[in-house]
Amino acid sequence: MTLRVEEHADRVIATLDRPEKRNAIDQEMIDALHALCGSLEADPRTLILTGSGGVFAAGADIAQLRERTAEDARRGINAAAFIRISELPMPVIAAIDGYALGCGAELAYAADIRIATPSSKLGNPETGLGIMAAAGATWRLPEIIGHARASELLLTGRMLDAEEALRWGLVSALHPADELLTAAHRIADRIAANDPLATQHTKRALRAPRPEHPAIEFELQAELFESAEKHRRMTEFLERRSRR
């Protein structure tokens, strides 16, 4: 098993688990990620992605990648799984320790929130192997850190250390390795305290292309304005305030 999945009522923790290969992403892991997405599409919960053995994912499995053909490239094997992850209804948190490189970095880019340890290193060295980053980096990375920085990172293939990744906004916080998952759970706790439908609608709006704004907010907000949960939560807020 290359993906360990721990399920809870409001969240799922998925751990990439090929420590002997530095969690290199192979076909079995991609298949497991698709299965996980099927579960979370049917039963939306926050997803925490992390890696075992002090590594997030050092890239794709090079032995498998070497044998892939033009037709495999056109199928977007890894990209399809990462698109599905990014489009999950509830937020995805990537808890990164050690290397998140190549395909592993692209998996992290598909998350809504990224946190890391001070020893983390992120980057896309694909051009050094005669290929390009084609599982989302060329369009997600400019959205996250801007076109100029994304161009430098992808065209040089260099790695960012954790401090630079934090300065660039590629990750939102750094935590010691032994506190990383605790920090991810704190984020998941904050999410769980909020209205799930409001959270899902906020994620939909964040992911929507610019031409869909502001119309998409109006429609999503219209649904929320009529929800029983909105009335319940606002009534509780007003009652608490009156008691104070």
Residues identified as active-site: 106, 126
Cα(103)–Cα(123) distance, integer angstroms: 9
Strands 11-16 and 46-51: parallel
Contact present, 81 and 33 (Cβ < 8 Å): yes
Length of the chain (residues): 244
Cα(47)–Cα(40) distance, integer angstroms: 8
Residues 6+ apart with CB under 8 A from 34: 81, 84
Buried b (16+ CB within 10 A) or exposed e, 162-176: bebbbebebbeebbe
Q: Could you tell me which residues are beta bridge partners of residue 115?
A: 95, 173
Give the containing element (helix H, strand E) for 220. Answer: helix 215-225
223: tokens are 């649904």
The H helix count followed by the E strand count for the chain is 12, 9
Contact present, 168 and 116 (Cβ < 8 Å): no
216: tokens are 């998409």
